Amino acid sequence: MAREEKYFGKTIEELNQMGVEEFAELVGSRARRSLKRGFDKKLLKKFDKAIAEKANGKEPKPIRTHHRTTVVIPKMVGLRVAVHRGNSFDIIEIAPKMLGHYLGELVMTRKRLSHGKAGIGATKSSTAITARG
């Protein structure tokens, strides 16, 4: 039997039935302020369209967005979102653990650092070489 995901003691189905204002009372103060200010209407339409496609049995394409300050709400759970990271888009699948977080928190903007071997006559500090790709 699979463990049912809960957020502050409420199941995902209960959270989906709540309005955004009610959900805002469960999250932290910064996210609550963002939710009370409202969403980008175009982005919300894209999410509604993807939810409708998923209900019809089709797998929707990832929703591409530059809005890294969007708070993850319950209706987004299960959807794939391509969040801009500065030079490309990273695709993430929204999980229940991500509720109340910002999309920008879920996608890193910096590359991993790999240390190389210093060349002849190189200083010790030049061994930090950034990875490409």
Average confidence score pLDDT of the chain: 86
* pLDDT tens string 56-92: 999 999 999 999 999 999 999 999 999 999 999 999 9
> Poorest-confidence range of 42-46, 66-70, 103-107, 115-119?
115-119
Cβ-in-10-Å burial (0-12, 13-18, 19+) of 103 comes to buried
* pLDDT tens string 7-41: 888 888 888 898 888 999 999 999 999 999 988 88
Strand intervals (E) in the chain: 6-7, 10-11, 63-65, 80-84, 89-93, 113-115, 128-130
pLDDT band at 118 (very low <50, low <70, confident <90, very high): low
> Strand, helix or coil at 14?
helix
Q: How many CB atoms lie within 10 A of CB 22?
A: 11
Domain 6-109 part of CATH 3.30.860.10 = yes
Read off the amino acid at residue 46.
Answer: K
> Can you say whether residue 97 is alpha, beta or left, with left for phi > 0 and alpha for psi between -120 and 50 degrees?
alpha
Q: Assess whether pLDDT exceeds 80 at residue 119.
A: no
